[in-house]
């Protein structure tokens, strides 16, 4: 505490805060109590989800990104590399996606027909089995994440976020 931030109490001779210091402390306390903005929660949620998914899946050689790529291809049946990148570009770049695809091909989980963006990707039976195995682990993380959150609440959050993005993208 700086010398000018307090005065001595006339009765007890102990330091007490000046009005200026009391105001500073009140403002600091109010800042702590303020709800954090949406940007904070978006980034924090993504970081916490990634951390937990990576921790749960790591024993099986997976990360959140590897899981997402595997699951996107599974859900599509067959999809182009550019189709996967369209969804994943928020999380990984093209080089990282190519590395994941090549690893899946080497492990016998994926068949790749063609080259570059137009390459057609399809899971093998072994890839589908791997997806099912990882899906069980991922489902547990999702269950924990969704505790106390109704499907309606989740749908509302997604709807609001989609509209926020749409509002900003329209102005590009």
Q: What's the angle, vertex CA 50, arms to CA 47 and CA 52, rounded to 5?
A: 110
pLDDT value for 8:
53
pLDDT value for 18:
74
pLDDT value for 1:
45
At the second CATH level, the architecture of 46-148 is: Orthogonal Bundle (1.10)
Q: Are strands 15-17 and 78-80 parallel, antiparallel or unpaired?
A: unpaired
pLDDT value for 32:
64
* For the chain, domain boundaries: 46-148
pLDDT value for 171:
72
pLDDT, tens digit (0-9, with 9 covering 90-100), for 101-135: 999 999 999 999 988 878 899 999 999 999 999 99
Determine the Cα–Cα distance for residues 118 and 103; give it in Å rounded to an integer: 18
Distant-in-sequence contacts of 107-114, Cβ < 8 A, 24+ apart: 109/70, 110/73, 112/81
Ranges of residues in the chain with a pLDDT under 70 are 1-16, 28-33, 172
């Amino acid at each position: 505490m700086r010398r000018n931030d307090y005065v001595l109490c006339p009765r007890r001779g102990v330091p007490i805060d000046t009005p200026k210091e009391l105001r500073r402390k009140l403002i600091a306390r109010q800042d702590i109590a303020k709800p954090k903005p949406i940007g904070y929660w978006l980034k924090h949620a993504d970081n916490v989800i990634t951390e937990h998914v990576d921790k749960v899946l790591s024993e099986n050689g997976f990360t959140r990104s590897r899981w997402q790529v595997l699951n996107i291809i599974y859900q599509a049946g067959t999809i182009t590399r550019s189709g996967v990148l369209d969804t994943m570009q928020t999380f990984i770049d093209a080089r990282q996606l190519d590395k994941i695809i090549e690893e899946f091909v080497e492990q016998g989980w994926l068949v790749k027909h063609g080259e570059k963006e137009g390459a057609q990707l399809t899971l093998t039976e072994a890839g589908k089995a791997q997806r099912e195995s990882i899906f069980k682990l991922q489902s547990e993380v999702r269950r924990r994440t969704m505790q106390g959150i109704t499907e309606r609440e989740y749908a509302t959050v997604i709807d609001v976020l989609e509209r926020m993005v749409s509002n900003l993208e329209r102005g590009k």
